[in-house]
Amino acid sequence: MKRTAKRGVILVTIGLLGWVLFPRSAPLASAPAPAFKRALPPDLGAPVPPPLAESERLDNPEPLSDRDLEAAAQLQLGQLDRIRKIPGAAPLLDEVIAALKEDDQETNSLDHIETDEHGLAEISDEAIEQMISDPALRAKWDQLMTMVAEHPEVMGEEERSGDGE
């Protein structure tokens, strides 16, 4: 009786091990990889909304107030002061700002970059050259942006919780 029970346990164990180690391998060998949540295909079945009427486009958004624009600009100016604190950045920033103020053209600097028929430009060395045509000024921009991108002091602390909602 004991021996039969032991045999039963061994057989069940072997069966379970086979189930664990070779799960549905034969019939699904050529099937796609098991569905994993992060690899789900795009949701092609999303409902398509009806076309928007022209009148629906604006939906009366609140206009930008001068007060908000002034606040944002003033605070961005304060941020420039933080860039100025990076060792070596202050003179470069001053020269870049002076050039921008001197060349107070109506057009956006980004309008000088060539685009394709969709209005897209590839961000490349060529695009940067088109955006800032003066080589000497471009070199200063480049140096300044390298400092901003790499200098750890500009990155601030990493303690404040901002886990979102």
Could you say which residues in the range 77-106 bind other proteins, by CB under 8 A?
Answer: 77-80, 82-83, 96-97, 100-101, 104
Distance from the first to the final alpha carbon of the chain: 62
User: Using the rule CB under 8 A, is 146 a contact of other proteins?
Assistant: yes
User: Using the rule CB under 8 A, is 143 a contact of other proteins?
Assistant: no
Q: List the one residue from 3, 26, 27, 37 that touches other proteins (CB under 8 A).
A: 37
User: Using the rule CB under 8 A, is 127 a contact of other proteins?
Assistant: yes
| d(C-alpha 92, C-alpha 83), whole Å | 10
User: Using the rule CB under 8 A, is 148 a contact of other proteins?
Assistant: yes
| Collapsed DSSP state (helix, strand, coil) of residue 96 | helix
User: Using the rule CB under 8 A, is 139 a contact of other proteins?
Assistant: no
> For the chain, how big is the Rg over CA atoms in Å?
31
| d(C-alpha 132, C-alpha 138), whole Å | 6
* Min separation Cβ 29 and other proteins, Å: 15
Which two tokens mark 82?
């933080």
User: Using the rule CB under 8 A, is 117 a contact of other proteins?
Assistant: no
CA dihedral 74, 76, 80, 86 (to 10 degrees): 130
* Min separation Cβ 147 and other proteins, Å: 10
User: Using the rule CB under 8 A, is 108 a contact of other proteins?
Assistant: yes
Based on CB atoms, which residue is closest to other proteins, 1 or 157? 157
User: Using the rule CB under 8 A, is 161 a contact of other proteins?
Assistant: yes
Residue 102: Cβ within 10 Å count: 7
Which two tokens mark 70?
């002034």
User: Using the rule CB under 8 A, is 64 a contact of other proteins?
Assistant: yes
Q: List the one residue from 26, 43, 87, 135 that touches other proteins (CB under 8 A).
A: 43
Which two tokens mark 113?
């970059």
Q: List the one residue from 27, 34, 87, 135 that touches other proteins (CB under 8 A).
A: 34
Q: What residue type is assigned to position 52 of the chain?
A: L
